[in-house]
Each structure stands twice: as structure tokens, then as C-alpha cells.
Amino acid sequence: MNRRQAAIAELERRIGHQFHDRELLERALTHASVGEGAVKVRHYERLEFLGDRVLNLLAAERLMAIYTEAREGEMSRLMAALVNYHACARVARAIGLPDALRLSPSASKVGARDSETVLGDACEALIGALYIDGGLDTARAFFLAHWKDNFERLDAPQARDPKTQLQEWAQGRGLPLPSYRVISRVGPDHAPSFTVEVFVEGYEPERAEGRSKQEAEKAAAQVMLLKREGPL
């Protein structure tokens, strides 16, 4: 058993499910960069599309059960804190997904194995694969087990909008409001990735990625807060 095979075996142990369809699992762990070139390789983007929908369903289902009196706006805020690529990346690292990923040498060289966006996408693809291989109950069991920490964060200060927190932080120090600038937009129209830089007077700017401009701005604000104040 080579190193990656051992990582896949450990991944299955941690998620509590052994795949019947091994090709499906391999596809869920294969980054699109592997298909660059003459040989066409099936990668995880279609499974990511499915997994995103399954994840949103499971999160909404659980929120409805826990927050029985919450209004739609509050539910939307809680959903945004639960379903984002940072939350998915945290779960991906906890289950050992980075070592099980199949990447091209060029993607590995530029750090894709530790990219928040790549890990978030791969986690969603894995959820999609779990749904296909084991059904909704299997996907739900994974979600409930591995999103537990994310639910515990919901009532913590960091569950609030990071942009609002950063604005309050700057105002509390008599500084102008933070400003944001889009550095780059890459990827296809159906799955873009934005890099945004946030500026606060007197401090080094910080950058972060997101699937939308707004998500990238929130991520950049969170990075700025963590570096200036430590864990919130």
C-alpha cells in the first residue's frame, strides 16, 4: 500500500464509510488539474455541484430542528456561517482529505493541497459521493458528525459578519472604514474564484479567496481580524 492509498484508507476510517464504488471515491478525490493535457480524467467538479446542494439541505434541515423560532433572516445568517468553503476546509483537514487528494504536479507545487478553496470544493465533492454511494442517511451521518464544531461556533462572536466586526474594530481605534479591492477573478463563469484585498489605514493589507466578491471580502476581513486581534 502506497502513501496515498494509506491516506484514502484513513479517510474512510475517519468518515465512517467504506465506499462500494471505488471509482466514485477516486473521482471525488481527483482535482481538475489532473485532467490537463491529452488524457481526459474524470474529476470532482460535478460531484462538488451535487455535494453543495446536499450540504445546504442537511444544514437547513438541522437549523430548522435547532432554531425553531428563528426568522428567515437569522436562519440565512446561520446558514452562511455553516456552509462556506472555510467551514468545508476545516472539515477536510480534520478527516485527512488533503493527503488523499489527487493533484497534478503543477497544482501541488503552487500549494493547491492546502488551498482553502480546493479543500472546500473537495469536501463538497466527497459529500456528493457519500450521497450517491450510501444515500442521504449516510451523507447526513457524516454531516452531523463532522459539522458539530461548526454548529458550536454559531453563537460565538466570529459567527457575526466579519466585515461588520472589522468596521467596528477600525472605528474603535479612530480609523477610517476598511476598504476592499478585487485583485483577481479566475475560473469559469459557473464557478469563479475571487481574490480580494482589504485595507485598514496604518496596517498591512490582507488577502483572501472566495467564490463570490462578497465571500472573499468577508474572508479577507476575517484574516485581518485574526492577525490583529488573535482568535475572536
Residue 124 annotated in active site: yes
124 is in an annotated binding site: yes
Radius of gyration of the chain (CA): 19
Asked if residue 137 belongs to a known ligand binding site, the reply is no
Closest CA to 57 of 130, 133, 125, 136: 136
Q: Is 52 a catalytic residue?
A: yes
Q: How far is CA 194 from the centre of its chain?
A: 14
What spatial distance separates the first Cα and last Cα of the chain, rounded to whole Å? 42
What is the phi/psi pair of residue 84, to 5°?
-160, 165
Render the burial of 100-121: b for 16+ CB within 10 Å, e for the rest: bbbbbeebeeeebbebbbbbbb
Sign of the alpha-carbon torsion through 197, 198, 204, 206: negative
- The residue from 26, 116, 124, 215 that is catalytic is 124
The answer to whether residues 159 and 153 touch, using CB atoms and an 8 Å cutoff, is: yes
Selecting among 26, 52, 133, 209, the annotated active-site residue is 52
Beta strands in the chain (DSSP E): 179-186, 193-199, 206-210
* Residues flagged as binding site for Mg(2+): 48, 121, 124
Enumerate the active-site residues. Answer: 52, 124
